[in-house]
Structure formats: C-alpha cells, structure tokens
Amino acid sequence: MIIIVVLMAFLTMSFYVIDSYQSSISTNNYVQSVYGKVQALYIADAGFNLAKYILDNDDQSVDSLQDKWTLPFNYSQNSSIKVSISIYDENRYINLNLAGDPGYGKIVDNLFKNLMISPEKERNLLVWIGRQEGTFQTGYPVKKAPMDSLYELILIGFKDEDLNGKLLGKDFYPGLIGISTVYTNGKININTAPLWVLKSLDERIDDNLAQKIIEKRSKEPFKQAKDLVLVDGFTFDMLYKIQNYIDVKSDIFHIVVNVGVGSTELKVDYVYDRAEKRIIYKEIL
C-alpha cells in the first residue's frame, strides 16, 4: 500500500514538473515568435524604404517595364534572414471605382465584356460604389462609397472565377484581381498595361493591335501618349477618344515585401503614392 502511495506521489510530482517544463517551453516559443515577428516587421519597413528610395530616384517622366524597379530584389543572410521585394505599378490597371464615370466608365464596360463577366455584376458594382441607385442580394450593407480594396468584390457577390480567371472552351479569361485597381486617379500607363487592359481602352483594339503596342514599347517605351499613333493600325480617332485616360508614367506603386526570420514568415503589402510621397495602404499578412 505504501509503495502505491509513494508511486502515486512520484507520478503526481512528475506531472507537475513536466507540465511546468512544457509551459516554460511554450512561453519561450511564444516569446521567440513575437520577437521574430517584431524583427520581421522592422526588416519589412526597411525593405519598403529601399523600394521607396529606388522609385523616388527613378526617372519619373516615363515608367516602363525596362526600368530597374521592375526587377525583384532578393537578400539572404546565413539562411536565418531572407528578404524579397517586388514592385508593381498600379497605373497599369483599370480603376473599378471609376465605373460609371463619363468616358472612363466605357473602359470598365469594355473590361467586363472582354472578361465575360455578366452586366448584372457590373450593375451591382455601380450600386456598391454609389454610382447608381438600387439594391441587390448581399449579406452585407451596401457601401454606397468607393472600394478600399478589390476584395470588397467578394462582398458584392463576385465569384472566384470572376476574380481569378476562368477557362471557357480553350480560351482563358483572367480575373479582375490581376488587371484592376482601386487606388489610381484613373490614368493608365500604356508602357506597362497588360494586353487585357490595352484591349479595354477601346473596343477597336483587338488582340493583334494590343500585341503590336506591346512589341513597340518593348523596343522603346512611349515617351508621350500620342506616340501610340506610331503603332500600325492605331488611329488618331482612337487616341482622341482615350487620351484623357492614358499616360506614359505611373504615380501609384504596389510594393510587396516578404520576410523570413528563422521560422517566422511575414508578408507586408504597401501601396505607395510617389507623387505625394505617402503610404496610402498597408496590410500585414
């Protein structure tokens, strides 16, 4: 009986020792995790400042895919710290917050048609951003104001295929996430705009003409918007129709900084307004 009591006491003491040890390990791991995240945040902000420096000191009269800021930056230190920085210009995309505007709204119309997204979804977008009266089925209060993020499209009821793309027959149609924005003033950079954006500028711009624009700028970036007429098939009438919505430079940039500190991984998205030299959006993932 004594042996059993002693054994029970030993097991009870062992349990408390092990529990205390595990708690100590858990606390230590938590402290290390917090420290790692704080360190990663400091490194991410340093990465952003590096990207900002590159953008601020670049030739701001013309931005193209040949510029140094388009190249990804990677850094590692003894495999314990890893950093990657990518910069994209938001002015290569179509601003959905300007749907319904005279002139620019037609570009948004063309985009939805080109991507094979139903007119009903565009109508819902117009209601959500306050460009049109009405209501629609949603589990959220209709905002009646411009979107702060493209992910509000999910609240509006856009499906995954509308956001990330779909395959219809043998043809792939990209989603809105990859070719639209909510941050710009509506100017679209013809030196960086992807094919689907170029096609949406005017219904007369088909795959062939859009590809000619891309080939022309790959040899030498457009120095001014009117240089588009140097592309075979692009007319002065097309230029007159879209000249108020295009440019050869960018003001808004999306900077993505990925940081690894030991086992801690962190991604920070910044949207930077180079003209006003300020961060207009930041998200830690």
Residue 191 lies in a domain: no
Name the domain boundary from 245, 260, 276. Answer: 245
Cβ atoms of 28 and 34 within 8 Å: the answer is: no
**258 and 215 together in one domain:** no
**177 and 207 together in one domain:** no
Residue 3 lies in a domain: no
CA 133, CA 126: separation in Å to the nearest integer? 8
**228 and 273 together in one domain:** no
Beta bridge partners of 247: 189
Computed from CA positions of residues 249, 112, 180, 64, in that sequence, does the dihedral angle turn out positive or negative? negative
CA 251, CA 85: separation in Å to the nearest integer? 18
CA 70, CA 87: separation in Å to the nearest integer? 6
In percent, how much of the chain has pLDDT > 90? 80
Name the domain boundary from 152, 183, 214. Answer: 183
Enclosing domain of residue 56: 37-91+251-284
Contacting residues for 178 by C-beta, under 8 A, at least 6 apart:
164, 165, 194
Cβ atoms of 168 and 184 within 8 Å: the answer is: no
- The number of domains in the chain is 3
pLDDT one-digit tens code per residue, 38-90: 889 999 999 999 999 999 999 999 999 999 999 999 988 877 899 999 999 99
pTM of the model: 0.85
pLDDT one-digit tens code per residue, 153-204: 999 999 999 999 999 999 999 999 999 999 999 999 999 999 999 999 999 9
pLDDT one-digit tens code per residue, 194-244: 999 999 999 999 999 999 999 999 999 999 999 999 999 999 999 999 999
